[in-house]
Amino acid sequence: MSKPAAPLKGRAARLARLMPSTGPSTAARTPFVLLVVLLLGGGLITLLLLNSALNEGSFRLSELKRDTTELTDEQQALQRDVDSRSQPDALERRARELGMVPGGSPAFLNPDGTVRGNPTEATAPPPSPTPSPSAGTPAAGAPAGPSGSTPPSGSVPATVPATEPDPATAPAAESTPPPTSPGR
């Protein structure tokens, strides 16, 4: 069958005696293969964890952007309400509903206690002839309420506590509910 290998001579024989060859050695390769497999597995697990963390951060970022958009919209709606209620005609209408009257010319106190200017009592103008839609209007001889006419001469006007107007007589613009965002 096969003939035995010829004996080695010279230098090859000496090397063969120093390093005996018993076939391919798998014992030396096993630690290297395990090290490579562990490094590759560890790298894949690290990439998976890193990718999960980035996705979680991305979801949180999109949620915060959505919340910011909702809050910005709500802030703009509130600012529009403030702007509409801060207009001079709206302030005047609301002041009249609360029973306030125009003040007239101002008078000032000097540091020494003297009065500069001519102080006068604020009087309400005569009520407008427009009919009121409410059924609870006072009779012709009844005294006027907080937004009525002036008190009798010689008397000091009483301070009337500010109350909210009747919802039935409030204008439609004032009865709109404030804007709300869902889930809040």
- What confidence tens digit (pLDDT) does each residue in 75-127 have? 999 999 999 999 999 999 999 899 898 887 888 999 999 999 888 887 777 66
- Please give the pLDDT value at position 132: 59
Residues in CB range of 73: below 8 A, 6 or more apart: 181
Q: Taking 80 as the threshold, does the pLDDT of residue 3 lie above it?
A: no
| The CA-based dihedral angle spanning residues 177, 180, 183, 184, taken in that order and rounded to the nearest 10 degrees | -100
Give residue 155's pLDDT.
Answer: 44
Residues in the chain: 184
At 49-88, the pLDDT tens digits run: 999 999 999 999 999 999 999 999 999 999 999 999 999 9
Q: What are phi and psi of 42, to 5 degrees?
A: -65, -40
Average pLDDT estimate for 25-52: 91
* Those residues with Cβ within 8 angstroms of residue 4's Cβ, 6 or more apart along the chain or in another chain: none
% of the chain with per-residue pLDDT over 70: 60
Structure-model confidence comparison of residues 39 and 173, the more confident one: 39
E runs forming strands in the chain: 108-109, 115-116
Q: Which residue has the higher pLDDT, 99 or 28?
A: 99
